[in-house]
Structure 1
């Protein structure tokens, strides 16, 4: 085994002085084959268990299959491309090329993830890399778990700050298309268009709350859709991904100048790809929930005030009719 010369990092937390130890990644990680956790039906639905990939897409869609991976957090690693993602929620995968990694000796997973990110591998084309290359990689690690925890905490905080940076809407919501409802029977499931509620039918497109945004016609009036619901083909519905709060994301949608993204010279139009590419600023899920809750309370107060105003206008109209000849 080739000895790595540097035994300590250039920058270190106060109180730790011991040399780091040389280990192989295969001694630090235990990997799980994806077979048990692979989705069978790739006709994804709009809610349920997320189906993941290690590339930029990350969430491919959702499934109601229940063979989820639950030993969390974990790292999904693409054996061909070497791409990887840190995952904190139950999931399934599509590809047999995915390795699911956990720490072998209960080291902090954020530390392990950053160690993997720091490691450099030689990409050998379209071939599998984990067993032949990654597991054999020599790395330096602190033997003291407390030092590992401090490093993990630091990078977790940095990651939370990074989430404040610009992201694409496609990374925060899953945009779905509406469908024609005319073949359905009457029922109690509301059907929505760009102008709001239209009628009720006996089936739903989504059983998860979403944000409605016009595909054609009125494209600048997004609003929350309470599940279950159906949307017509001129109304997209965007379901927040696991790390997104719906009230917060609705405010984001409200704040976008959608006419700026109009793709038509006639009737205003949007496409999924355009919506997915819109850049916005987000924050941590916890802060999103706090902001979303506040905005919901304000919206509720405004709604109540509108109801009161309508009531007083009705009273005024009645008094005018009764008190004047």
Structure 2
């Protein structure tokens, strides 16, 4: 069957040279369901053992559309005797594992196996292991079964309220659209390259976040010391203990704004207790400020704002006095775990009167500025890779929508 509702099955975007319509097939005729067992997490290890176990929670959260067993950290069965006793089917490259139970509509998320290198692979709890009965190019099934073109038909088949599931029989009755193996190969290779770029920038982003955390730990004194572990050449004076209120000439909460006056776009950003809240048509602060969230789940979190902005009553606006640097205060506050000073109630809150009394170690303004410049550079790099990640993920989402039928 090559048409749907009278229209040829052709994706919006496809590679040059491919013009034939895709074929529609029943999933149960294309993939056979394999047997799987439930293994206890106590029987698994992160590094030992020759047999891998695929857990549904990892399919939902950690693994992508294609699981490269040569590179990914996948739990292993520690005891070979346990592996030998399993009555489930051993999996192989090209097999797909679908999560059949979850607490949301992520039910049906799939991962395709590759690079198992002959090591035994098992499917675990709340999963459906399937094997193609015909020829499929590497990477095609993993990405196609996760695309909205396929996944949208699963939504009406899901059962349950809090815990949602889909049955094997319902999955077997779904339909697939399939191009030629040559076109599948091009699609699989394209998404493989895209996934590699996403992984590359994710690693760079993660490394920079770890670097920043380490630098914050070493460039600010701890344990009552008057000196940080790492500091710039030419600075030898001990840091001094000061109350936060002594470091600033403005330290107060913002003002209430009606939710109707906050929108997704506008000339001036609105900052609340958890950071950027939206935009509005007026402002109540101008210049560089460090912000402390004073209410909510993220009570004590720290942000920075520059220019004309509106700060709500859930954000404490802090501007340094002439002896200190506002950007430095942003990084300093981030090391202080300010949330610990919130009131013990169902709705945590920070009082300005308590915050101004909190004590911290600070250097002179010249050293503060040096420290600020270093962390601003690191933050710029983190933001750069974060934006590249968001762009690549958006490109992938768009391609998943447009390259499948």
Q: TM-score, normalised by structure 2?
A: 0.39
